[in-house]
């Protein structure tokens, strides 16, 4: 599969139209004969869930071809997995209805949909436990090697929140009594909590998949310019091991491109000078490239940027001033490829990323930082999705007790 080969952005209008048609059909069947048509409705919903999952996976694949560095990539994969769990439980309900006629009730379908978020939490509990333990182990190794800093315990904090959320729901939903109004309020709180947890879990899983695909992708070897994103340097001005890994990855790519196509590229060293740095990150990388035999005329310095978005924006300005049609790639550390690509697309630059390897214990915690960073962006789209989920589970709860 290749990135950036599709010109049109994939849409899910087909899924929306299908959903409206299914909703209309189900509403008519339930209004006409709720109990008599319960099995038919369950089977229709089973087919509908499977169809939407297929459409979302197709959209995910097309999104990778159109723009792999997009929130849509995360959303399509994360929520396709959730719908898969709903489909499994819906098929199970349909089988029960076929073998046990007394279970053919419209209420059973409603309760299945109402409890879908809680069911997903239970189904994904083994994954959450394994993921959280692995994240804690990597964080403890990171603390042992890199020291006790707040950023080095983000993985432990996330693990605690994930497990605490599962425990809270199991405890809170284990027993309830009182009037129908009290039970309704209890179930509403439980379902809203589960839907919020579900949203962040789907985003987390989607981000893990998107990060892995972006980090492992090998861009086409036809680049005119290759941006190397800066990070911290040593006190003497030489690249840190992390930064040197990025430069070495760029050198390896340039060498392979030259061998396969005969085409040289220009390195764009991108990174400003921090308050505790003796030279800019750009200058540090340039010096290292010179020691590796790269001619000065094949190095373009961008030394104003202070973050990833500025890396991309200022580098684009330099490149476009020379060649607006240039084919551009960028190099960063593996865990940072996806978010860096997101920044590149926001400044209207189609650049394909590649990841430099890092130590095994560093990647998980750094990925958590990247995930937190992703959640702070595109708040409008995320808020709309989360609000829609909360509204849907509120409506289902009220219908169940209506």
Which two structure tokens, joined as six digits, stand for 216?
């492992």
Of residues 50 and 179, the one with the higher pLDDT is 50
Q: Among the residues of 173-271, which ranges form H helices?
A: 180-216, 241-261
Alpha helices in 33-124, H assignment, sequence order: 38-66, 71-99, 106-114, 116-123
Q: How much is the pLDDT for 347?
A: 95
> What pLDDT shows up at residue 307?
94
Of the chain, the percentage scoring pLDDT greater than 90 comes to 77
Per-residue pLDDT at 368: 87
Q: Residue 149: its pLDDT value, please?
A: 80
Q: Is the pLDDT of residue 103 over 80?
A: no
CA 86 to chain centre: 21
Domain ranges for the chain, please list them: 1-114, 122-215+361-402, 225-326
Longest dimension (CA), the chain: 80
pLDDT digits (tens, 9 = 90+) for 128-155: 999 999 999 998 998 988 788 887 888 9
Tell me, what's the pLDDT at 106?
86
Question: pLDDT tens across 195-235, in order?
Answer: 999 999 999 999 999 999 999 999 999 999 999 999 989 99
The Cα 25–Cα 47 span in angstroms is 13
Q: Is the model's pLDDT at 77 over the cut of 80?
A: yes
Residue 378 clears pLDDT 80, i.e. is over it: no
Task: Using a pLDDT cut of 70, give the percent of the chain over it.
Answer: 100
pLDDT level of residue 365 (50, 70, 90 thresholds): confident
CA distances to 51, 95, 123, 135, 259 from 39, rounded to whole Å, are 18, 9, 24, 43, 63
Distance CA 234, CA 240 (A): 5
Superfamily of domain 225-326: HUPs (3.40.50.620)
| Mean per-residue pLDDT of the chain | 92
- Dist. CA 395–CA 402, nearest whole Å: 10
Residue 101 pLDDT grade (very low, low, confident, very high; cuts 50, 70, 90): confident
Say how far apart CA 269 and CA 282 lie, in whole Å: 5
Task: Please check whether residue 202 is in contact with residue 385, taking contact to mean a CB–CB distance below 8 angstroms.
Answer: no
pLDDT digits (tens, 9 = 90+) for 20-67: 999 999 999 988 888 888 999 999 999 999 999 999 999 999 999 999
């Amino acid at each position: 599969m290749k990135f950036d080969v599709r010109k049109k952005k994939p849409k899910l209008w087909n899924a929306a139209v299908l959903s409206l048609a299914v909703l209309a059909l189900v509403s008519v069947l339930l209004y006409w004969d709720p109990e008599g048509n319960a099995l038919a409705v369950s089977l229709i919903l089973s087919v509908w869930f499977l169809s939407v999952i297929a459409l979302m996976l197709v959209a995910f694949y097309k999104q990778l071809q159109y723009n792999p560095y997009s929130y849509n990539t995360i959303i399509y994969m994360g929520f396709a997995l959730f719908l898969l769990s709903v489909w499994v439980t819906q098929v199970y309900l349909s089988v029960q209805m076929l073998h046990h006629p007394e279970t053919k009730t419209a209420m059973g379908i409603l309760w299945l949909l109402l409890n879908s978020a809680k069911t997903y939490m239970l189904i994904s509990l083994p994954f959450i436990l394994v993921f959280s333990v692995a994240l804690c182990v990597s964080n403890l190794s990171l603390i042992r090697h890199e020291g006790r800093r707040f950023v080095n315990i983000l993985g432990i904090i996330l693990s605690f929140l994930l497990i605490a959320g599962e425990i809270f729901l199991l405890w809170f939903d284990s027993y309830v009594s009182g009037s129908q109004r009290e039970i309704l309020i209890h179930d509403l709180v439980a379902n809203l909590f589960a839907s919020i947890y579900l949203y962040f879990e789907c985003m987390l899983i989607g981000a893990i998949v998107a990060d892995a695909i972006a980090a492992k992708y090998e861009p086409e070897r036809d680049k005119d310019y290759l941006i190397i994103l800066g990070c911290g340097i040593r006190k003497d001005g030489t690249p840190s091991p992390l930064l040197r890994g990025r430069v070495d990855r760029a050198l390896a790519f340039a060498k392979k491109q030259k061998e396969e196509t005969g085409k040289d590229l220009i390195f764009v060293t991108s990174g400003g000078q921090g308050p505790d740095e003796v030279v800019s990150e750009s200058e540090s990388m340039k010096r290292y490239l010179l020691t590796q035999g790269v001619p000065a005329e094949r190095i373009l310095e961008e030394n104003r940027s202070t973050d990833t978005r500025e890396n991309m924006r200022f580098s684009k300005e330099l490149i476009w001033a020379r060649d607006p049609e240039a084919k551009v790639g960028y190099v960063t550390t593996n865990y940072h490829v996806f978010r860096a690509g997101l920044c590149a697309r926001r400044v209207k630059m189609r650049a394909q990323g590649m990841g430099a390897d890092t130590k095994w214990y560093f990647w998980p915690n750094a990925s958590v930082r990247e995930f937190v960073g992703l959640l702070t962006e595109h708040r409008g789209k995320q808020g709309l999705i989360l609000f829609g989920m909360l509204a849907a589970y509120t409506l289902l709860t009220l219908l169940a007790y209506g």
